[in-house]
């Protein structure tokens, strides 16, 4: 099998357990696992990788080459944990939480696909170290994203036979959630409704994740409302689907934050895509169809502009009550980025919504998103979200 390259062979040589098995449960009205992935999704990832087909193996191999946490040389260590995380660059410990959260998530999905016990041990160590240490989380950007990924990883381990996750582990992580959420309110922490565009999506997605893990229905419901209706007292900076994505005929699908640059609005769209998967699993609001499929229009509009075509953009005043800033056109900064290969973080791939739309039969109405995914090539999202149908459509199954 030519795609079994040296990285994959090294992976196979690492200590392994029997492949994990997912067990679905219902508790306090929430389905578990139910943050980004349910059992069907996790088993798809495992079956795909175990099939040995090129794109699934290639995507994980690429992640191994780029993420030190997945490398087997024994030298990797997490960035944290810390008792307090605030927004202050590296000094606020928000970057370590983001990095460790993403590492825990990649390690957990990699373990579920392969049974690699080194990855399992590392993932649990990250999650439980932060779980026993963190007391105050008041950063909604990197901290929110890191918390969301870390909690999704904990959710998968709790639901998986073979992880050796215990009730004591659940208590450790739940007690951490109790500590940090006890300090959140309308003006502090991750449940705030007044956050700025993509930052609101990152923060609220972290709050949604811990709500599912710990059975916090009120927080879950509030985050659904923030994302699909909007609660920001300044609607010009609200990330909610019907407020940031235009429904006007001439500007249909316009994403407000594209007047700032192209990376930040994509971060917001990705976060909404992930939140929408969680909401679907939990049987709540369908982010992908509500408001006449406005989120779909936003993805397509972003992809059209980032594919090199021009788009009609209605000028948007930002914080008009306190600022004279007006975004008059899309800002070309970061335009046309290949998210499958960008930087050192493979989890930034943008296929989460593509695979969801394809399985719903609506990608035929999204030619720009379709073309953008084909141009980018195989990325982490092929491993996490792909299947033979979606990857065959993209032409990736033929890649050796």
pLDDT confidence of residue 92 = 81
Alpha carbon distance 5, 1 (integer Å): 9
Q: Which of 186, 279, 292, 198 is nearest to 246 (CA)?
A: 292
Low-confidence ranges of the chain (pLDDT < 50): 1-14, 400
Q: Which of 107, 202, 122, 201 is nearest to 156 (CA)?
A: 107
Q: Return the ∠ at Cα 385 (arms to 380 and 390), rounded to 5°.
A: 105
> 331-334, long-range: CB within 8 Å, 24+ apart, which pairs?
331/258, 331/259, 331/260, 331/261, 331/262, 332/262, 333/261, 333/262, 333/263, 334/261, 334/262, 334/263
pLDDT confidence of residue 89 = 63
pLDDT confidence of residue 400 = 44
- Residue 395 is given by DSSP the state T
The secondary structure of 171-205, three-state, reads: HHHHHHHHHHHCCCECCECCCCCCCCCHHHHHHHH
pLDDT confidence of residue 9 = 42
pTM: 0.95
Q: Return the ∠ at Cα 378 (arms to 375 and 380), rounded to 5°.
A: 125
Give one DSSP letter per residue of 41-53, joined into a string.
Answer: HHHHHHHHHHTT-
> 165-174, long-range: CB within 8 Å, 24+ apart, which pairs?
165/124, 169/124, 169/127, 169/128, 169/131, 172/128, 172/131, 172/132, 173/127, 173/128, 173/131, 173/213, 174/213, 174/214
Query: Using omega within 30 degrees of 0 as the cis cutoff, is the peptide bond preceding 111 cis?
Result: no
Q: Which of 242, 208, 212, 238 is nearest to 228 (CA)?
A: 242
Going by C-beta distance under 8 Å and a sequence separation of 6 or more, which residues neighbour residue 88?
94, 139
Domains defined for the chain, CATH in brackets? 6-15+28-394 (1.50.10.100)
């Amino acid at each position: 099998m030519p795609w079994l390259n040296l990285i994959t062979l090294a992976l196979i040589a690492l200590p392994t357990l029997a492949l994990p098995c997912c067990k679905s449960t219902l508790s306090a009205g929430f389905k578990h696992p139910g943050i980004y992935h349910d059992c069907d999704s996790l088993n798809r990832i495992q079956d795909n990788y175990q099939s040995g087909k090129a794109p699934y193996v290639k995507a994980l191999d690429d992640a191994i080459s780029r993420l030190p946490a997945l490398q087997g040389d024994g030298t990797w260590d997490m960035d944290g944990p810390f008792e307090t995380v605030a927004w202050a660059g590296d000094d606020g410990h928000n970057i370590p939480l983001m990095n460790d959260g993403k590492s825990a998530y990649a390690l957990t999905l990699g373990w579920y696909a392969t049974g690699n016990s080194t990855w399992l041990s590392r993932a649990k160590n990250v999650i439980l170290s932060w779980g026993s240490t963190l007391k105050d989380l008041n950063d909604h950007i990197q901290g929110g994203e890191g918390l969301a990924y870390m909690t999704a990883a904990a959710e998968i381990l709790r639901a998986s036979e073979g992880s050796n996750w215990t009730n004591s582990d659940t208590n450790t992580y739940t007690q951490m959630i109790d500590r940090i959420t006890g300090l959140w309110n309308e003006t502090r922490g991750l449940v705030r409704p007044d956050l700025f565009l993509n930052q609101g999506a990152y923060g609220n997605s972290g709050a949604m994740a811990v709500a599912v893990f710990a059975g916090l229905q009120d927080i879950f419901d509030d985050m659904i409302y923030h994302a699909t209706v909007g609660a920001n007292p300044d609607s010009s900076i609200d990330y909610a689907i019907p407020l940031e994505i235009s429904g006007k005929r001439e500007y249909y699908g316009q994403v407000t934050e594209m007047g700032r640059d192209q990376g930040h609005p994509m971060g917001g769209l990705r976060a909404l895509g992930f939140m929408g998967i969680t909401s679907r699993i939990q049987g709540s609001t369908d982010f992908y169809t509500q408001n006449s499929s406005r989120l779909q229009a936003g993805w397509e509009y972003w992809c059209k502009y980032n594919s090199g075509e021009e788009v009609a953009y209605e000028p948007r005043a930002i914080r008009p009550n306190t600022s004279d800033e007006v975004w008059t056109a899309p800002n070309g900064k970061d335009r046309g980025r290949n998210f499958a290969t960008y930087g050192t973080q493979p989890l930034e791939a943008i296929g989460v919504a593509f695979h969801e739309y394809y399985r719903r039969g609506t990608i035929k109405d999204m030619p720009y998103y379709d073309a953008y995914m084909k141009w980018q090539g195989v990325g982490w999202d092929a491993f996490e979200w792909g299947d033979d149908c979606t990857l065959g459509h993209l032409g990736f199954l033929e890649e050796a």
